[in-house]
Structures are given as C-alpha cells and as structure tokens.
Amino acid sequence: MESMLEALADLPLLKIAAGWLLLVNLQTFTAFWFDKRAALRGFWRTSEANLLMGAFLGGTPGAFLARRVFRHKTRKQPFVSRLKTIAFLQIMAIGGAMGWYAAGILQV
C-alpha cells in the first residue's frame, strides 16, 4: 500500500485529476447505459441519486453525452434541472480555480 501511495506522490496533480475524470466519466456513461437498458427491458433501475452522484463527482460530461447518445433522462424533471445545476456549479468552481491559479493563490 505504501508503494502505491509513494507512486501517487510522484505523479503531478493534473495527471491524477485527469485519470480520475476519465474513470468517473466512463462509469457515469456506463451507468446511464445500464439504466436505459433496464428501462427498456423492465428490469431493476439505477437510482437517479446514483446517476447524479456520478455527475457530481466529475462525470458531468459523461452524463450529458450518455443522455444524448441513449436519449435517456432528457425530459425527466427534476433530474434535468439538478444535472444542469451540478454542471453550472462545476463550471463556476473550475473558473474560480483558474482565477486563483492566474492570481498565484493556487499552485499546482
């Protein structure tokens, strides 16, 4: 376990974040696919809370892509407004982080 932590310590923060975002977006996209498939077959569904949690953890692009590709959860309220709120807050957080980085407050 320690060697894994040491290896992570050697990786720049941006590489770790990029890896995380890749994995969480893949998971979120897959969760939407499973839910759409279950909806068509009448099987057990993935909860909206779990789909939104994937987006909240960084999988917003995967969620929006899956909605478009699978035509799933495109009109369901309040799901759509909650997903858009998550996306808005993430955009604001990224903008704030970029501002802090430009001002020298945040160092990567």
Judge whether residue 10 has pLDDT over 80. no
pLDDT score, position 8: 63
Average pLDDT over all residues of the chain: 91
- pTM for the model stands at 0.84
Shortest CA distance to 38 belongs to which of 51, 52, 57?
51
CA distance 69 to 12: 33
Is the torsion defined by CA of 61, 39, 79, 74 positive or negative?
positive
What are the extents of the domains in the chain?
1-106
DSSP states along 47-79: PHHHHHHHIIIIIHHHHHHHHHHHT-SSS-TTH
pLDDT score, position 80: 96
Q: How far is CA 64 from the centre of its chain?
A: 10
3 vs 45 pLDDT, higher one: 45
